[in-house]
Amino acid sequence: MHVNGKVALVTGAAQGIGRAFAEALLHHGAKVALVDLNLEAGVQCKAALDEQFEPQKTLFVQCDVADQEQLRDTFRKVVDHFGRLDILVNNAGVNNEKNWEQTLQINLVSVISGTYLALDYMSKQNGGEGGVIINMSSIAAPATSQQESSKEEPEIEDKDPSGHTTLDFLLSFLYEDLRETPIVSRGQTFGTHIHHGLTIRWFITEMRQL
């Protein structure tokens, strides 16, 4: 799948994996809606990306993905602004064992809700042009229980005729060698598959070599 000219919505896009994913999409010519609850980080992220890309290539929307109404309004704002939606990246995630209800609401329920909302805009049955939905989260996925439904390894919902999943070129580095994220920086480590100190610049450099 070529992303040049496509419109992507990335949740949890202000920092960490989400920001790296958004920057990679921008480097490949996509327009990106940066969705995040953290207003300060979101504004700073957009400002930094505006220095590298044209300001009209990005849109920041503050949103609590656990709030169904906010999430619905966010999708509406993105489509109203860019005129279409082609890619959804369900990236927002938390790791809070004490508040497990919030964790499930963000890591699981919002992913399901976002997927249905994306289908409303992208499905050809609804007049859309089709698209891609990518569900991803922490690099801790390989170390978690197979029964843990809210934190599994990334999934891609679409395949091209050759049988390869679309946007594999993005996920290959996101899954194998992900950068340090806020969850990791708080001291939570899950095994040797986590590499500390990997930066967004490293990620983009690797992406360009594909």
Q: Which of 114, 59, 82, 90 is nearest to 5 (CA)?
A: 82
C-alpha–C-alpha distance, residues 195 and 203, integer Å: 12
Q: Is the pLDDT of residue 192 over 80?
A: no
Q: What is the CATH number that goes with domain 7-208?
A: 3.40.50.720
* Paired residues of 193 in beta bridges: none
Kind of pairing, strands 31-36 and 132-135?
unpaired
Higher pLDDT, 197 or 147: 197
Q: CB 112: neighbour CB atoms within 10 A?
A: 11
Give me the pLDDT at residue 151, please: 45
Query: Does pTM surpass 0.85?
Result: no
Mean pLDDT, residues 37-46 taken together: 97
* Paired residues of 10 in beta bridges: 34, 89
Give me the pLDDT at residue 207, please: 54
Domain extents in the chain: 7-208
End-to-end CA separation in angstroms for the chain: 14
